[in-house]
Amino acid sequence: MKIGILTSGGDCPGLNAVIRGAVLKGIAIHGHEFVGFLDGWRGVVEGDIIDIPRTMVRGIAKQGGTILGTSRTNPFENGGGPEVIKAHMNRLGIDAIIAIGGEGTLAAAKRLTDAGLKIVGVPKTVDNDLDATDYTFGFDTAVQIATEAIDRLRTTGESHHRCMIVEVMGRHVGWIALHAGMAAGAHAILIPEQKVSIEQTAQWVKEAYARGRAPLVVVAEGFVPEHMESPHSERGLDTFGRPRLGGIADRLAPELEARTGIETRATILGHIQRGGVPSAFDRTLATRLGMAAIDSVVEGFWGTMVALKGTDIEHVGFQEALGRLKTVPQKRYDEAAVLFG
């Protein structure tokens, strides 16, 4: 078979390890041929490909980003659609597609599969918000990057007796904030799943300060304070019509300073969480998922994605994968909240 691979949506550490795992197993075990669609769905819509021989994936598991490039292209717009994509696949001799991406990518893959294309998916999101898999690669690396950055900010906060607010990624869920915040010993963790007032946050900050600590607040970009109706967004919409989030830390800093009298600084980590080399955990998970995607292709499990369940890799339908977000359970937040203040 000739298999096309694409990476779509936001990049994250581990994408290259997926590509490597799929290509090595596909060639070594099944004799498959591989091509890569450049820049995600754009390459699929335009039929823009490159060959992926075994030599091309040598040593790439440790590299961040993606050797194929990525974009947030919608395959149903700008001259796309299933008939256009089918025509390109027939012309190029491509039998199936492995789509590596997050919720938006997999939703598009489901629509295309429903239209008759042969597609399997590999879940990718640093937010760790896909309910059908226990963990997604990229998440562990993002948490490590965030934790290290918070540790560094904490020392400067302690030197100046300041309150430090650190904003991490997390559009709909607070997994990065929860894990990085607990690891770094945050005095407050603010996530999209929990409505928390400015007054309560200020109280936690004052309690920490009264003990001689430099208060540390970790907030997810999608956090909505009790007095707001929607997440803070001033950057317009992305290509899928979603608000571009970011900046809630800058909104919180002056309000907390006014309520506590403590000098407060905000830092937004942003895309640094997506960059750099993947952790050992993410390299291993991504490699296993890439190899399992080849099993999906061989078995003809079209319209499914590979998922981590416990320590095993399983195959789940796109519908199950997209059914709901994996949010932080109340008991997990309550567990962390014991350490606040």
Annotated binding-site members for substrate = 125-127, 162, 169-171, 221, 265, 271-274
Q: Is 250 a catalytic residue?
A: no
Radius of gyration, CA atoms only, the chain: 21
The amino acid sitting at 274 is R
Query: Taking 80 as the threshold, does the pLDDT of residue 240 lie above it?
Result: no
Q: How far is Cα 303 from Cα 331, in angstroms, rounded to an integer?
A: 33
pLDDT digits (tens, 9 = 90+) for 89-138: 999 999 999 999 998 899 999 999 999 999 999 999 999 999 899 999 99
Q: How far is Cα 243 from Cα 26, in angstroms, rounded to an integer?
A: 39
- Please provide residue 50's backbone torsions phi and psi, each rounded to the nearest 5 degrees: -135, 150
The CA angle 12-15-16, to the nearest 5 degrees, is 130
Residue 263 tokens read as 């000098």
For 2-137+278-320, CATH number out of 1.10.1040.10, 3.30.70.20, 3.40.50.450, 3.10.20.590 equals 3.40.50.450
pLDDT digits (tens, 9 = 90+) for 143-189: 999 999 999 999 999 999 999 999 999 989 999 999 999 999 999 99
Q: How far is Cα 277 from Cα 168, in angstroms, rounded to an integer?
A: 18
Domain spans of the chain, in order of start: 2-137+278-320, 139-275
Annotated binding-site members for Mg(2+) = 103
Annotated binding-site members for ATP = 10, 72-73, 102-105
Per the model's pLDDT, the better-predicted residue between 135 and 234 turns out to be 135
The CATH number that domain 139-275 falls under is 3.40.50.460
- Return the biggest CA–CA distance within the chain: 70
pLDDT digits (tens, 9 = 90+) for 23-66: 999 999 999 999 999 999 999 999 999 999 999 999 999 999 99
Annotated binding-site members = 10, 72-73, 102-105, 125-127, 162, 169-171, 221, 265, 271-274
Domain 2-137+278-320 and domain 139-275 have a common topology: yes
Q: Which of 14, 132, 1, 5 is nearest to 66 (CA)?
A: 14
CA atoms within 13 A on the CB side of 76: 12
Question: Among 11, 95, 114, 127, which one carries the catalytic annotation?
Answer: 127
pTM for the whole thing? 0.92
